Amino acid sequence: MDLMEHQAKEIFLQYGIPVPKGMVLYHESALADALSTIGVDKFGVVKAQVLTGGRGEVGGIKVVDSLTQAREAVRAILGMRIKGLTVEKVLVEEKLDIKNEYFIGITIDPESLPALLISPKGGRDIEQIAKEFPTAIGKYLIRLKNGLPSFEVIELAKSLGLHHTLWGGLVDIAGKLYKAFCEKEATLIEVNPLVETEGGKLIAADGLLNVDDNALFRHSEFSQLRKELREMVLKDKGVDYIDLGDGEVGLLCAGAGMTMLTMDLVVQLGAKARCFIDMSHGVNPVGFTAALEVLASEPGVRYVLVNMFGGLTRMDEVAKSMLQAIESMGAKFPKPMVIRLQGTNVDEGQRIMREAGYEVYSELEEVMATLKKILEVAR
Ligand code: GDP
Ligand code: MN
């Protein structure tokens, strides 16, 4: 799981890594608040919060000098598409007086050891540094039992020609990054750029943190974040996903009204919806793949109820998209799934599903009765 910049920076803060003062906004109306939090004299930078780098080059990062400029920047950036992702929030931060930009990060090396990387050519991505300045990246393999000794960081800094006034700060930040890397079971933690201010301070101007998906179940502190990120990723694919926290049935519907009705019907069976997914704008293989992947992987979801009813939505397309999605995930959907298809081209849609070995119903009563049986057997 990748964290967004502002989420990574929150973790940095917890570990004592200096970050610029800032605030997350979903709407320009919160700007005045941000201005007073950050301080009028320190205002500011507006940064798109999306899960991709290279925001600067496409106008996703703007340095501003006044509230008016900030407002314009927030307006321009919110809703912007960056590499196919829609910007739904911005991070407004204090402006930094940048003297130098460095790179510092810890990643898993091909030898499966954590590797500390430092470069004096920060501000561009690491692949670009590697290409343009191959000798300007220093690497130290962290042998776990030794931890990250200060002198090794200093040796690395020295070998890169970094001035001795930076060594102390780098040792401090590298140590904190390593602690966060281990405790959060990260696969990558990165500060790029690590800014040296005109005042001689080191501060994390950007942050990247990737947490090992297989370790997420050990980190309840990320569960809220995980939900949020998942909702966001799905929304980008035209799929609305709502996690309800408990229950055992995952719902896949089209349209808010149908979703609500289906939820009520599940309750009448003495069960509860764990989550619902509204496919309204995502009836295509990409949307279905995203939706079915969530339903397949979410451990709380034990049964899946698909209730697709549509006039505009063609059921043969629903069927084809669903099957294509299931195929891309593996041979067969891994959980009990009951399906109702009704509406335009329903005969063709049902034929396609049946041919692929799925039971399909036309009427709501029928599909609910089938779900009821499955639930009874399980109990
Ligand atoms: P990325 O391009 O998506 O990785 O975004 P970054 O957060 O790394 O920012 C890209 C560049 O914007 C940095 O390398 C800086 O040069 C510039 N930048 C970011 N924050 C600030 C800031 O607070 N002040 C100034 N002047 N420039 C900034
Ligand atoms: Mn960056």
Q: Give, for all 379 residues of the chain, the pLDDT tens digit.
A: 899 999 999 999 999 999 999 999 999 999 999 999 999 889 899 999 999 888 999 999 999 998 999 999 999 999 999 998 899 999 999 999 999 999 999 999 998 999 999 999 999 989 999 999 999 999 999 987 778 999 999 999 999 999 999 999 999 999 999 999 999 999 999 999 999 999 999 999 999 999 998 888 899 899 888 888 888 888 888 899 988 889 999 999 988 888 999 999 999 999 999 999 999 888 899 999 999 999 998 889 999 999 999 878 899 999 999 999 999 888 789 999 999 999 999 999 999 999 999 999 999 999 999 999 999 998 8
Q: Indicate the burial class of 178 (C-beta count within 10 angstroms; 0-12, 13-18, 19 or more).
A: buried
Q: What three-state secondary structure class fits 85?
A: strand
Cα of 181 vs centre of ligand 2, distance in Å, is 18
Is residue 241 exposed (0-12), middle (13-18) or buried (19+ Cβ within 10 Å)? buried
> What number does the ligand 1 atom closest to the CA of 57 have?
2
**Architecture per CATH, 1-19+97-227:** 2-Layer Sandwich (3.30)
Report whether 301 contacts 295 (CB < 8 A). yes
Distance CA 63, CA 69 (A): 9
- The atom number, within ligand 1, closest to the CA of 45 reads 23
Q: Please list, residue by residue across 258-269, b when 16 or more beta carbons sit within 10 angstroms of its beta carbon and e when fewer do.
A: bbeebbebbeeb
Give the CATH number of domain 237-378: 3.40.50.261
| DSSP annotation of 334 | S
Q: How far apart, in whole angstroms, are the C-alpha atoms of residue 145 and residue 42?
A: 43
pLDDT value at residue 149: 94
CB 207 near ligand 1, within 6 Å: no
Residue 173 C-alpha to ligand 1 middle, in angstroms? 19
CATH class, domain 21-95, is alpha beta
Distance 295 CA to ligand 2 centre (A): 33
Domain ranges of the chain: 1-19+97-227, 21-95, 237-378
Give me the pLDDT at residue 312, please: 80
- State the distance from the centre of ligand 1 to the C-alpha of 202, rounded, in angstroms: 14
Choose among 224, 249, 253: nearest CA to 241.
Answer: 253
- Identify the pLDDT of residue 229: 82
The answer to whether the pTM exceeds 0.85 is: no
- Integer-rounded Cα Rg, in Å, for the chain is 25
Mutate to test the pocket of ligand 1, among 77, 98, 100 (most ligand atoms within 8 A of CB): 98
Beta-carbon count within 10 A of 332 CB: 12
**Residue 190: its pLDDT value, please?**
97
Q: At a CB cut-off of 8 Å and minimum separation 6, what does 233 contact?
A: 51, 290
Q: How many residues does the chain have?
A: 379
